[in-house]
Structure 1
Amino acid sequence: MKDKLSTFTEFSNNLFPHEIDYLLSVQQFQKPENLHILKIIHHNTHYPARPLPFDTSIDKRTYSYMKAWIHENLQKIDVDMFYAWLISVEKSIMNDDIETGQEKELLNAMDNMHPTAYYFMKFYRVIQHYRDYLIVR
């Protein structure tokens, strides 16, 4: 018989301790079940030899929500995904093929970008290309 939370357990086993530490620092859960689940994941990633079981009395939709929330928040800080997006936008600008959606994303990224960001210099160069693109346009 398949374990009730096997998919979620497998997902949580693939997380790294520093990722869970980050998620604990940014979480603002209203429901105590969500925080409880996150703390169990925290314990299991830090002490893999002594894992705690997940509470099966919690609704499976809560686990599904937590999985999506974890994935979404880790994607927000994934520098590799940001770099891939940045390269695709730069390619679109250089080929004079940038779409409206990409322009909106780029402008939103400009508002949220900080000089301490990992790929700030690359982002700055892409913005310079975008400026040149707008001048020609």
Structure 2
Amino acid sequence: MSFRLYPDVPDDFEARIRILAPEEGGRRSPARNGIRWDFAYAADAGAPELFMIWPDFRHAEGDSWATELPLPVGEPLLAGLTVVNEVLRAGLHRERIRPGVRFHCHEGPRVVAVGEVTRVTGLLLDRPLLR
């Protein structure tokens, strides 16, 4: 049986995310699975709009990373991502999220990780509201 961080929440898309090292402006303390960074489209220059799109980091075989283990810095990690805001999910994000779209993960104004969408999964499907 596989472990999923959010077993009742389907992914909207998958991506590769690289957590930045402190010398790149990233976090000084380790990130762990379950972190709820803000998401910004890399194409939005200047002060980007931030969105609640949360990652579930996964091993290659599909199991989620354990929440007590630090995530590796500087290497691409697989993740399933979920758009939290249903209104933005059905409109803006369905229009913008495609394979190849690059994004940043923020903690406040600081970019702490960079990513690229690899596959759209459940984004185009209707789903019950998240609780």
Q: Is this a same-fold pair by TM over 0.5?
A: no
More helix by share: 1
Structure showing greater relative contact order (alpha-carbon pairs closer than 8 Å, 6 or more residues apart): 2
TM range (shorter): under 0.3
Larger Rg over CA atoms = 1
Q: TM-score, normalised by structure 2?
A: 0.26
Structure with a larger share of its residues in strand: 2
